[in-house]
Amino acid sequence: MANERTERAIDIIVDGFIDNPVLGWVFEDEATRADGIRGYVEVFLTAYGERGVLDIDEGGEGAALWAEPGTPQLEGEHAVALVELLREFNGERTNLVLSTLGGVKPPLERHWYLNVIAARRGARSRGIGARLLEPFLARADREGVVIYLESSNPRNLSFYRRYDFENYGEVIVLPGVGPVLQPMWRPAPSDR
């Protein structure tokens, strides 16, 4: 499925998200969490196909996965693949995970979707996220398109707000442990 560049990006994302509060809730077992995150990223890469943009920073320490405007989230076989992945790692918790994450409602208007952005754990706080994000902000502004994401770590909210992202819709509180998934969007330049 993946070439060397894609494999490197997936490895970066897995390392960057291994201690993520939301994915820690989705993939509870620390021993298999990396495999679960890898499978998650692979499902979306396959679903996006040519409409996905996988970006790696030039230092090889950060990666981001974007979906172009108009790209469906998950449909058909890709939705089935995600459910099967979640079932493999969650067993009887699968319905809880699906119903909780199903509460996320992306905007209906045309938007870029930032699925994941990550820096390796040892490379955080070095501006990697900004270097990955800024070119897409400029592109979206040129296109007059909003950007949508779900922040899965409360410590990242101030980072996104520096770039004019606002809370969007309802916060998703995960049962039992309480980490939140904060939907956010960055309005088109004409609306800021």
Domain of 167 in residue numbering reads as 4-191
For residue 1, pLDDT beyond 70: no
Count structural domains, the chain. 1
For residue 184, pLDDT beyond 90: yes
Interval 99-157: pLDDT, tens:
998 878 888 889 999 999 999 999 898 999 999 999 999 999 999 999 999 999 989 99
Interval 28-68: pLDDT, tens:
999 999 999 999 999 999 999 889 999 999 999 999 999 99
For residue 177, pLDDT beyond 90: no
CATH of the domain at 50: 3.40.630.30
Work out the angle between the directed axes of helices 76-90 and 33-48 (0-180°, nearest 10).
Answer: 180
